[in-house]
């Protein structure tokens, strides 16, 4: 059985991860490309998109910058 993160059920993390995934796909870039642009490990980026990580503001900023969107836009897209 796969190990579940204790954060995997947190709705706001899942919503943010979905917003990152949709924004990334809108830009036409792979998860690996986004991770490289944001200087975040690719497997960690996958966890972000699955809502498994409680991100720091620093990493949220890096992701938004890599996607060329504002943090506010990402949060709005996540419904937060």
Q: What is the pLDDT of residues 6-36, one digit of tens each?
A: 554 578 999 999 999 999 999 999 999 999 9
What is the rounded radius of gyration, in angstroms, for the C-alpha atoms of the chain?
12
Q: What pLDDT does 6 receive?
A: 54
Q: What pLDDT does 11 receive?
A: 87
Q: What is the pLDDT of residues 53-79, one digit of tens each?
A: 999 999 999 999 999 999 999 999 999
Q: What pLDDT does 3 receive?
A: 46
Contact, 40 vs 62, CB < 8 A? yes
CB neighbours (10 Å) of residue 55? Answer: 18
Q: What pLDDT does 1 receive?
A: 39
Q: What pLDDT does 10 receive?
A: 73
Contact, 15 vs 80, CB < 8 A? yes
CATH level 2 (architecture), domain 11-78: Orthogonal Bundle (1.10)
* Sequence ranges of the domains in the chain: 11-78
Residue 12 tokens, joined: 């706001």
| pLDDT at position 43 over 80 | yes
Contact, 30 vs 71, CB < 8 A? no
């Amino acid at each position: 059985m796969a190990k579940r993160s204790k954060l995997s059920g947190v709705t706001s993390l899942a919503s943010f991860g979905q917003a990152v995934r949709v924004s990334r796909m809108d830009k036409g870039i792979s998860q690996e490309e986004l991770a490289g642009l944001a200087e975040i490990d690719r497997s960690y980026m996958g966890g972000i998109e699955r809502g498994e990580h409680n991100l720091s503001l620093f990493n949220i900023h890096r992701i938004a910058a890599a996607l060329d969107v504002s943090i506010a836009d990402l949060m709005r897209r996540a419904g937060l």
